[in-house]
Amino acid sequence: EGSTLAIDQRITVFINYSGAYPLLKTEYYINNKYMGAVQKAPYTYSFIPQDVDSIVRGTNTISITAYDVVYNKTTRQIQYIVN
């Protein structure tokens, strides 16, 4: 499991990308609920857990799907605890 975070703490997800093709966009999901996409650098996403309906106290998962300009995609998941 990942970090333990306060329910009122701002969380910012930073993308570190290297690939054969430029990055086109990133999509963000919290506990399988689509939260939005970013289509320009620096491809960061911020949220405060208490403002997101799908977040619970305890273990949560954020998934990031990155697409390059030829639509190759990769997904990573990060688990974190909200208290």
Between residues 78 and 1, the one the model is more confident about: 78
The predicted structure's pLDDT at residue 2: 73
Q: Which residues of 56-70 are buried (b: 16+ CB within 10 A; e: fewer)?
A: eeeebebbbbbbbee
The predicted structure's pLDDT at residue 1: 53
Nearest to 67 by CA among 14, 17, 13, 11: 17
Residue range 16-23: mean pLDDT, rounded: 92
User: Model-level pTM?
Assistant: 0.89
Residues 33-83 have pLDDT tens digits of: 999 999 999 999 999 999 999 999 999 999 999 999 999 999 999 999 999
What span, in angstroms and rounded, lies between the C-alpha atoms of 61 and 29?
Answer: 8
